[in-house]
Structure 1
């Protein structure tokens, strides 16, 4: 049908906004009336035809696809409709459209925006025939580079790599033009996605170019990490990459180290670099050798762990040794628990080993030095080793060094060893005990689920030491709760410390419906930065009695709280919320308020999910249809379309 023969758009003016035509395409979608939608696509006005095309794509099937192809191939068709039809054919991944879409690419000078949409559709279809035309566009139309790169990634054909390499240099940033920074980085990431060895020399060269933006060099390093470079002829191409072992950007140096560990020349470089004068190079070399997980590197790593003057190098050596998993490495790590600067890293490394050296750790817990006991307690807690509980309880006494006592408390919490609750309660209530120890005791009581500790944890919310109040609030959020606990947490939500306020609110949120009355009270009295948080928590546990409160916030508020409120209403899935959701959808847009679209989207999704006896609620369905054909369908079209599709699917399955 010629664009000139289509009827004019039937619309009306509502508050100065042009509203969609009164067509019945949404009802057709719900009835799966494909023939009716095909007729609408062919004969209706431009706007209604585009909506019919979208629903045909959502339904799919040969009849719908044939109608869309006929429309695409009509030389007299309205370009606006062609634009939408191309989107639809991409959604359907219709390979018969590929020649027409390639032709649309080449006619970009006449109808550029149609060619742009064809790029995206070809990517969704994924046909290799589009690779060369798309690569040609990278050089001809660099402004469209991001869309072309995404399309080539979706197609996933390695024949794109030579063309990408040729076009890469046209997309790299220039000193006088920083607009290409992101495009160059995206091109490098695309090459990394292909993981093609042919790209390795170019990527290595980019890594070594210090003048390039850090993001681009980081992307090149990550791309090399993903690429199997063992087949690359001539390892000299990695000369630039070798120099990056000492790069100040740790992500770059580690990616290069891991890449080098996959080749024999690279391993040679790493093994010689563990003694390099630059500690950054030594650290990266340790990381790379750990990635190889080769027991022959243990002696060199063990030397770095015990003798290197740089803490970062010793830390990297510890994690590398853990990855080897051999007995010699475990012995070295257990010995390194006495290194005060890295004992925690060593403990985490030991906890990641399988099987872990638990017997050695238990021995150290009982007979080691304070530093060794500290590391052993940390590792055993991370491992969940319940045999450690008696030894940990022994370490709670005043005779033990404070750091070791703290580590023992944390470990008992991680083990959830309930027999430890009485001594931990004693620590928490001891005013002479260090504040740090009392705070950790509060945390451990919550972690192990010690319900008998609720009264003392509530009292701890009034302690003068902030860390104790903070950990007590967190702990109460991990317990089942009670009305007195809710009251105490509601009071703690007014604490002078923002961290304690947040912990108390989070704890109330964890208690769910039990905390609902307190959250309502807080909502009435809270202003400022905490108000959106209170609204969020109330919305998660709201019932129908909160509908008026949440609706008022969703309509009148101009902060993030409005979005949380409408989300709470949508969660109810109650027919009584239909009017409220419609009011939110029709809420007038407010200048500068960025959440209007999100509000309508959430409300539309809420309408389509309301059910009665397992079937879509009739009042909600009628309201959704009215919204789709009204102002909301114009301002939030994709969300309204999604909601109609969801409703149609639910009607079909009911």
Structure 2
């Protein structure tokens, strides 16, 4: 049984900008696994950070927790134009992942947001929350593409998608290739990461995918961009290298916030 004090200690690591980014990510994923109002409160507090990558992952984790108590903070992030587009994008996807019908009208509203990264997630999420008949003005192909990508979790998916469509589409292709964890995707992911003209949101997702696949060729690609001038790419490589170390090591789980806490107090 995890105590409130333990949740608070892990949360303190998450919100402390003096902590290494890798430690903050591990704390975040620990809180995601623990769940509950305390974990949601700490994750929500971290949206005041200046790292777009961290905030993107905060929204992602809140969506995965599928707890309606996270809806208010995700709505605030989606509506906050001061937040980076990739962060608002992920907040939109997280609201769709939670799947509460109360956000349907809000997602419909933001399906016409002037920021294209924000427009995509509501269009993808809406079919989950309501029938197509109620949404006659929305283009089905975007949602259809997302469904096809999700199917890719269980079957081979061509890395050629990293050269196609919008930046949002390529971002999702990178995510799914990372989930598949197949080394055949490594050359294309490494090439997309190396394309400086590519959207940083796509490059960030390719870096994280390489960390998840964790083959020797991934290590070289990530190390090559550890000092990338684009902050979100540089930080993504930092976190991905930590993921690589975990995947190739003996540690039981990446979300080791509790183990770290108990080790520090033993």
TM-score by length of 1: 0.22
TM-score (norm 2): 0.49
Larger Rg: 1
